[in-house]
Structure 1
Amino acid sequence: MAAEALRTLLGRVRYEVLPARATEAKVLAHVPRDIVVTVTASPVKGLEPTLALTERLAAHGYRVVPHLPARLLRDDAHLKDVAERLRATGIDDLFVPAGDADPPAGPYEGALPVLRRLAELGSPFEELGITGYPESHPVIHDDITVQSMWDKRAHATYIVSNLCFDPRVLGDWITRIRRRAITLPVYVGVAGPVQRAKLLAMATKIGVGESTRFLTRHPAWFLRLAAPGGYAPERLLTRGAQALTGPSAGVAGLHLFTFNQLAETERWRRALLDRLGG
């Protein structure tokens, strides 16, 4: 039963990509059209690379979910313009985190005011995603992150959990939010099969400022991903199978952090599906 449930989750995946120069070509070469692609946004480069890549991938027939960090929005007019541009592209799903821009580009310091403003604009998107934190946020207390999901639940339609490497922690977090009557479906954030050398090269290409920000906020992530032999996504999924696949968990699928290693991620997914099928 657990194997079949994991097969189902692996069939409902979202691939998170960074809007780099080669991303479009990598998606076209390695990602099937039935896989949802989510596009991150950079506090250094702003929203334009995210919006442009979203438009191009949508034109290729992908279902694309752009990230719209609240702290990158300059004002209400900017939010309205972005929403109209995305809707004109056919986008009906938007992921709204707070973002890391410090200071914020405008009046929005968190996701909730953006979600409320989108409702005032007539709820232009059918699906709206928010962030969950199974492992503690670097600067926000766990109780506050859970309360934040409760506050946003009326506006959002699903939760994407941030990276977690401990199946016990992940299971406890799912139980905790369900006890708080947070019933939104969850896409569990899982790092793909990251190659250490490519991860280090990618961090360099992102840029010194953003790499430093990433490492400062998530040093444990980087160490666990970069350690030779230190991380395998199938171990996390297998050990956490009971927590992820139980009927009360409400897990809708997996959100795979690919770090733009798309060929490796899709090859791993297909190989694991084959093994589970056997």
Structure 2
Amino acid sequence: MSNELPTVALVRLLEGARYEVMPTASVVDAVGEHVPPSVTVTVTAAPGKGLEATLSTATTLARAGWPVVPHLAARMLTGRGELQEVVARLAEAGVTAAFVPGGDADPPAGDYDCALDLLRDLATMEHPFTQVGITGYPESHPTIDDDVTVQAMWDKRAYATHIVSNMTFDAEHLGTWCERVRRRRVELPLLVGVPGPVERTKLLGMATKIGVGESLRFLRKQKSVFARIAAPGFSSDRFVSRVAALSANPALGIAGLHVFTFNQVGVVETWRQGMLARAREERVHPTGRGGHQDG
């Protein structure tokens, strides 16, 4: 990737943005109503719902024509035997990508204590995945030290094709983190996790839909999310524009956007299309003020 103008980078990122959803009862219909089949949909895994909810949602969407990335949370799988069954099921549905986090199950369901354990097993078996994502943490993990998460990226890099960052809000901090990762000679392309323009009340509503125990875990892990998305100074438009400016520097290796929708896919898709239209117009008819303007 060569150096790009920020507006060109913004168009590229928005066109290729993918959406993260939670496997609730209504999400398949919501995706079908609002999300074009050109958009990749990633499906989370949560201990309170079980891996079946993830697999069912992912295979249903895949058979309906969406590019799908199920989250195969290592600590939710019992071991190699179950992993082989899951891989076969996803292959039959035409799924060709997976995201492998460690997961929140405590204690683990079986043999896998971390993502690396699963990735090593996956590498020794036949599977359909041409793309395998691993986690990155520009915003600190709530329970794991930063040095440990960076070391984990190094350990997992040989088994993956890209890194997906957790949700981040500070473009300057993101740039510093990217530089740190590259200094460690982790060269995998990076998809930056960004929050869609979802209202705080809708985030709270989403938390209640995923179950009492899971909601408490969600709120504990994401307590800063509510405050920062709802803060007067935060704008998804402005933040994504700053990510695009960073991505214009090829040394940072920012290859895409991973948008956290909290299942408000209609709101997020309307936002993406609007921002994309403005960015395309700016690319064709520059204002002379240095790039994309906030909407």
- TM bracket, shorter-chain basis: over 0.9
Distance 1:85 1:253 in 2: 28
Q: 2:278: which partner in 1?
A: 275
Asked if 1 retains the 8 angstrom alpha-carbon contact of 2:78 and 2:110, the reply is: yes
Partner of 2:209: 205
Match of 2:291 in 1: none
Could you list the per-position Cα deviations for residues 217-244 of structure 1 after superposition, in whole angstroms to 9, with x for gaps in the alignment? 232122223x264532112122343322
**Shift in Å at residue 123 of structure 1?**
4.7
Q: What residue is the counterpart of 1:120 in the other structure?
A: 124
Residue 237 (1) aligns with residue 240 (2): yes
Offset of residue 50 of structure 1: 0.8
Structure 1 spans left out of the alignment, 5+ residues: none
TM-score (norm: length of structure 1): 0.96
Indicate the residue corresponding to 1:53 in structure 2.
57
Which residue in 2 is equivalent to 1:159? Answer: 163
Contact 2:97 2:128 in 1 (8 A): no
Check whether the contact 1:168–1:240 (CA below 8 A) recurs between aligned residues. no
Question: Among 87, 99, 107, which residue is 1:83 paired with?
Answer: 87
Shift of the alpha carbon at 1:41? Answer: 0.9
1:140-219 matches, within 5 Å, as 140-219=144-223
- Show the counterpart of 2:267: 264
Mapped to 2, the partners of 1:210 and 1:265 lie a distance apart of 23
Name whichever of 90-99 and 212-221 sits farther off.
212-221
Report the equivalent of 2:288: none
Q: CA RMSD in A?
A: 1.2
Q: Does 1:246 align with 2:246?
A: no
Alignment match of 1:24 (pick from 21, 28, 31): 28
After superposition, what is the alpha-carbon deviation per residue over 1:246-275, rounded to whole angstroms, capped at 9, x for unaligned? 111211110000000011101000110111
Out of 52, 62, 66, which is 1:62 matched to?
Answer: 66
Aligned residues: 277
SS in 2 for 1:153: helix
What 5-or-longer segments of structure 2 have no aligned partner? 282-295
* Cα separation, 2, equivalents of 1:51 and 1:137: 26
Q: CA offsets per residue over residues 25-73 of structure 1, 9 Å max, x none?
A: 1001110111100001111111101111111111111110100000100
Letter in 2 for 1:63: P
Aligned partners of 1:171 and 1:244 also within 8 Å: no
Structure 1: which 4+ aligned runs deviate by more than 3 Å? 228-231
CA distance in 2, matches of 1:230, 1:81: 47
Hey, what does 2:286 align to over in structure 1? none
Q: Within 1, Cα distance between the matches of 2:40 and 2:242?
A: 25
CA distances 1:136-161 after superposition (whole Å, capped 9, x unpaired): 11111111111111111110001000
**3-state SS of the aligned residue for 2:78?**
coil
User: Partner residue of 1:73?
Assistant: 77
SS in 2 for 1:154: helix
SS in 2 for 1:266: helix
**Cα distance, 1:173 vs structure 2:** 0.7
Find the residue that maps to 2:240 and give its secondary structure: helix
- Mapped partners of 1:148, 1:247: distance in 2: 23
Counterpart residue type for residue 269 of structure 2: E
Q: Percentage identity across aligned positions?
A: 53
- Quote the Cα distance in structure 2 between the aligned partners of 1:32 and 1:124: 24
Q: Distance in 2 between matches of 1:90 and 1:241?
A: 32
